[in-house]
Amino acid sequence: MTPVHAIIAKELRAYFVSPVVYVVGAVFLLIFGVLSYLAVVNAGTQAIRLMQIQGAAAQLNLNDLVFRPTFYSLAIVLLLVLPILTMRLFAEERKLHTFELLMTSPIGVNEIVVGKFLGAYVIYLGLLALTGLVPFVLSVYSSFDWNPVFTGYLGLALLGALFLATGVLASALTENQIVAAFLSFGVLIVVWLLGALGSILGDTPLGNTLSYLSFIEHYDRLVRGLVDTKDLVYYLCGLVLMLFLAHRVVESQRWK
């Protein structure tokens, strides 16, 4: 077992003994359930209306009517929920004075940062896997194109990784957990709004740059079933940048 594994195992253990994860998990799954239920109900009423107009059973596109709106709303939910998952990562080590133990053990700061990120990411992937129940049940009663569903999940996995890495950076910056959570909300919302500003500015160089910088346009393409290397590179770079900054911050705290 490498030190990174040891950190991951410790973080998972800490998550499972803390009520925060159960609350966050329950809220996330509940919201996902409600969102997809509403989307399905909405699809049902549309089907009835279409039947009245056309007089025959209409072929509904579940991808457009159920999955896409659910994936979009879920991005907002992640933005609110994931900072709660990461806020304790470094703040708690400082509170318990275990930071000194980690920093005087023969492991690198990069191993600590990556281990903590992966610990939170495993929890998140677990929650995502549980939501897989919804498309599975729907596939039993109807048929739809699995492709955009898979790419949508890929989008969620990438978006979540970026959000969690931002949260790791925020928790390295402050000893206060609440401040860490709000810091990551703040950063993520600003980056999101950059994208909105970009689309207002339209097809200008500045507009395109802003849209590229925001995570939402890249997510949007994945949800629509388009896998483009450009988007994958964006998420990978964002993830590495956030973890690198977190590494620098943790390292620099020893110099104060």
Partner 1 sequence: MIEVQNVTKRFGIFTAIERVTFTVDKGEVLAFLGPNGAGKTTTMRILTCFIPATEGIARVAGFDCFQQPMEVKRRIGYLPETLPLYQELTVTEYLTFVGRIKGLSAPELRTSLDRVVERLALGDVRDRLIANLSRGYQQRVGLAQALLHDPPVLILDEPTVGLDPKQIIEIRELIKSLAGSHTVILSTHILPEATASCQRVVIINNGRIVAVDSPERLSARLRQSEKISVTVKAPPSDLADRFRALPGVMTVFESSEPGSFLLECKLGRDLRDDVARFVVGNGWGLLELKTVSMTLEDVFLRLTQHEEGVEDAGGAPGAGQDVQTTEHPRA
The mark string for 109-148 relative to partner 1 (x by CB under 8 A, - otherwise) is ----------------------------------------
Compare residues 64 and 92 and give the one whose CB is closer to partner 1: 92
> Could you give the CA distance from residue 151 to residue 148 in angstroms, rounded to a whole number?
5
Asked if 13 touches partner 1 (CB under 8 A), the answer is: yes
- 3-state SS class at 256: coil
Q: Which stretch binds partner 1 (CB under 8 A): 3-11, 32-40, 80-88, 228-236?
A: 3-11
CB 102 within 8 A of CB 188: no
The DSSP call for residue 104 is: T
**For partner 1, which residue of 42, 98, 139, 204 counts as binding (CB under 8 A)?**
98
Task: Give the one residue of 42, 105, 143, 209 binding partner 1; rule: CB under 8 A.
Answer: 105
Q: Backbone phi, then psi, for 205, in 5-degree steps?
A: -55, -45
Residues 6+ apart with CB under 8 A from 249: 169, 172, 173
Alpha-carbon gap, residue 182 to 23, rounded angstroms: 18
| Separation of alpha carbons 247 and 183, rounded Å | 17
Total number of residues that touch partner 1 (CB under 8 A): 27
Our CB check for partner 1 shows the closer of 151 and 177 to be 177
Which position among 34, 44, 49, 100 is part of the footprint of partner 1 (CB under 8 A)? 100
Over the range 41-59, which residues count as b (16 or more CB within 10 Å of their CB) and which as e?
A: eebeeeeeeeeeeeeeeee
Q: Angle at which helices 3-17 and 109-131 pack, to 10 degrees? A: 50
Q: Which stretch binds partner 1 (CB under 8 A): 4-12, 56-64, 139-147, 153-161?
A: 4-12
Of 49-88, binders to partner 1 (CB under 8 A) are none
Q: Which is nearer to partner 1, 55 or 106 (CB)?
A: 106
Q: Report the interface residues with partner 1, using CB under 8 A.
A: 1, 3, 5-7, 9-10, 13-14, 17-18, 96-108, 254-256
